[in-house]
Each structure stands twice: as C-alpha cells, then as structure tokens.
Structure 1
C-alpha cells in the first residue's frame, strides 16, 4: 500500500514536470518568434499578452467582465495602438483621459463598484500593459535585437542563479512572509550571476552590438540593477496573490499558471532595461 502510494506520487511529480517542461518549451518558441520578428508582430503580440494579463488581474478584483474592465481593456488597446501608430500628442492626455473615463463609469454606476476596483482598473493598465510594452520599445532601439534579450536574462537568469545560490548557502530570509524560500544570499547570487551572464553575452555579441569593454561593463551594471528589480516584481505579484487569497493568476500556461505568474518579474525588468539602455548605451 505504502509502495503504491509512493509510486503514485512519483508518477504525479513526473507528470507535473513534463507539463511544465512542454509548456515552457512552447512559451520559449513563441517568445523567440515574436521578438526575433519584431515590428508590428511583436507590438500586437504584446498587446494580446497584456490584455490577457489584464484580464487575469481584473479577475482577482472581480471586475474582469464589468464596465470598468472593458474600459481597462480599451485603454490597453489604445495605448498599444498609439505606441505603434502615434496619434495621441502627449502621454499625459492618455493617462488623464483614461482616469476620467474610469471615474465617470464609477460615478454613473454608483454603487455598483468599489473604489478599490476603480484603482485596480487604473493601475492595472500601467502595471501590465505599459510596463510590458517596454519589451517592444527595447526591441526598437538601435541595437534592440540584442539588448532585448537582456530583459529575460535579468528576470529568468537572475531567478535561476538566485535559486542555485540560495539552495547552496542561503541562510538569511529576505521576505519570509511573502516567499520563505528566498534568501539574501540567493538574491546577491542572482544579481552577481546576472551581471556575469551579461558579460558573457556582451562578449559573445561584441561585434554585432559594436560594444567596447566599457560598454559591456555598463550593460552588466544595467542588468545587475534589472536583476534586483526583477525580485521586486516577483514579490509584488506574490503579495497581491496573498492579499487576495489566490494561488495563481490563471491556468493559461499549464504547470506555470497565468501570464502574470510567468511574466511577473519581466514586467518590472523591461522598463529598467529599456530606459537604462536607451540613455546609457543607445543615447
């Protein structure tokens, strides 16, 4: 009986691993196709990903099919449309107009919605759509076809390095209430590992990116900062889930959860890499 139970648990663990591996491979292939192609394909691909992520976030606040949710999806759509085909003269006009629409719906529908739903509707577009759009904006930089991969190196590379170092020497908890397994040693190892991986990456593509030794070191510093910020993104997503008593944002990616579960750190890393690379490398 005990043996049968162990065999069942082993098979279950193998099935979960296989599911995670297969869905991970599909995800990587899709990301490669979008980012290598770039241009409008990447733009509209990110738009779709952002709207799905926004749906997952709005579902946490029970507003995914409400009027506020529809305004949020429309806001994300308009934002990406303007990003690819500029027609709004100032980003502030978009932000203020979007806020006014949300508040108008809140007032005219009162008391159908709670004030936290309005704030979630507004912040959600910036948290998911605007921040994630920096992947596209990074790709459009002069050396963007190479720099854009640093976003994923920061988020996923840092996470892997942090996990390995944490398992080996991690003793001091970084955020015990949010993620008991994360350690300060692991975080430091993740940041150092990210910088080292960037140096290797920059050296490998030195000629294609027209990099000097100083530029490679600057890139390493940029990704080190991005790696640190990626942990904030990971913990922020965990904090929201804990506050709302949910395990995952969705089930779209088998074995991984939803879009926000897989891209929580990328959302925070993308703006850091984009702006630092834009002003320190491409500027």
Structure 2
C-alpha cells in the first residue's frame, strides 16, 4: 500500500509539473476534466440516483460545469462565469419542473451542489496560472494544500495531543493543524525567495507570500474536513479508485479545491496580480 501510494504521488507530481508549466488551454482542459470527474464521484457518493444510472438531471449539472469552464477559459470574466452558473441552475430547474414528480427537491439541490463544488473551484487553478507571475503563484495552491497536509501529519505524529475534530477526524490534532500552517508559510517564504523576488525585485514578496500560503493552509484543512464530512454522511471510505493508493480525484484534491480560490483572490488583492 505504501509503495502504491508513493508511486501514485510521484506520478501526480510529474503530471502537475507538466500541466502547470504548460498552462494555457492545456491546463484549462485538465481542470475541466478534473471538475467533471470529481462531479461524477460526488454524484455517486451522494446517491442522487439509487440505481446508479446517470440521469438527465445529472447531465444538466455536467453541462453546466462545461459551460462555466469554457466561459472562464475564454473570457476570464466572472460576469460570464456567473451567467454560466445561472444557466446551469435554470437548466436543472427546467428538468425538475417538466419531469415532475420524477425528481425530488433534495436531488435537485444535491446535483447543483455537486456541480458547483468542483465545477467552480477547479478553474481557479487555471485562473491563478493566468495571472501575472502566475507561473509561480499557481504553485502556492499546492504548497498551501499538499505541503500543509504533509507538515500537519508529521507534526501531529510528533507532538499531537489535542483533537482538532474528534468526531469527524479523530487522528487530526490542533498541533498538527498549526504545524501545517507554519510549514506552508515557511515553504512559501522559501519559494518566494527562490523565484518571486528575483522575478519581481521586491523583497516584500517573502512576507506577503508567506501570509498567503498560511491563509491558504488554514482553508485547505477546512476543505479536507469538508470532503471527509460528506464521506462520513454517506458511509464511504473513498470517492473513487482512479488514483491507486489515494482514492478518487476528490480524495486527492479536496484541500486543493478550497485553497485555489483563496490563493487567487489574495494574489490579486495583496500582490496586485492581474490577467
């Protein structure tokens, strides 16, 4: 199991390097594919259809994800994105109304949630990459999520005593959570020193990037726990099996999804990064 997980991690890192360095339409297409895969995992986990069949209601949710992803890739304008979300909502409601009583209100709300969750959050990876200095800033998403996860685990193993969320995730500790935030801030500062300061010529980058990384790390842990809560509610261990040793896309990118918009908006607000 360890070697399987390690091998998958190495492959993920290599793929991340390829796609994040490539950026542009390649990264946009990958984000869209991840969104759709995560959507299917959530739909299955939440048991929208008891017999497991993919229905017209769920197809409308998937179409909404494609529409939103295309709108953000082509325009990078949130007005177009909001328009895509509204159209997705209207399409889902159209199916609900004209196929009544085939679908229940809870199914409609679940489909919209399952589409919005990965469909809106994954594209922020692409949007961050498209910012000025985006070829560097996009890595803060993964520093704030995957580095945080590693540092939290190691710190928790070493000195963890106080439970962070005892019912939801008994193995996570407050000490581990703090260690994850501190570790992300330090790695973010080192990253800024190595790449962003030479690129921008601003020594202040080291402090601002450390702050952004720390904020992202805090939110990443909420993302991790949120995905765990959904699994607990529906009594499943993993969202899928697409990544050997890790589970599904939602299992590996749960924290990334929450971190991506935080890194994007803080980069725009604190660093003045623009498209």
Q: Assess same fold via TM > 0.5.
A: yes
Moved over 6 A (4+): none
Contact 1:102 1:118 in 2 (8 A): yes
Equivalent residue runs for 1:27-176 within 5 Å: 27-63=12-48, 65-86=54-75, 90-176=80-166
Native 8 Å contact 2:71 2:80 kept in 1: no
1:43-79 Cα deviation digits (max 9, x unpaired) = 0111111101111011123346111110111111111
Match of residue 248, structure 2, among 254, 258, 268: 258
Q: Are the structure 2 counterparts of residues 209 and 116 from structure 1 closer, same or farther at C-alpha, using a change threshold of 3 Å?
A: farther
Aligned to 1:10: none
Structure 2 gaps, min length 5:
none
Structure number, greater radius of gyration? 1
Equivalents in 2 of 1:217, 1:18: separation in Å? 37
Distance 1:200 1:87, change over 3 A: closer
The match for 1:11 is none
* Aligned 1:210-249 pairs, distance under 5 A: 210-249=200-239
CA distance in 2, matches of 1:55, 1:280: 35
Q: Distance in 2 between matches of 1:131 and 1:182?
A: 25
Q: Distance in 2 between matches of 1:279 and 1:83?
A: 19
The 1-side partners of 2:169 and 2:99 are apart by 39
Q: Name the Cα RMSD after superposition.
A: 1.6
Cα offset, 1:208, TM superposition:
4.0
1:202, 1:211 within 8 Å by CA — same for their partners in 2?
Answer: no
Question: Alpha-carbon deviations, 1:213-260, whole Å to 9, x = none?
Answer: 322101111110100000000000000000011110000001100000
Are 1:18 and 2:3 matched, yes or no?
A: yes
Aligned residues: 268
Q: 5+ residue gaps in structure 1?
A: 1-15
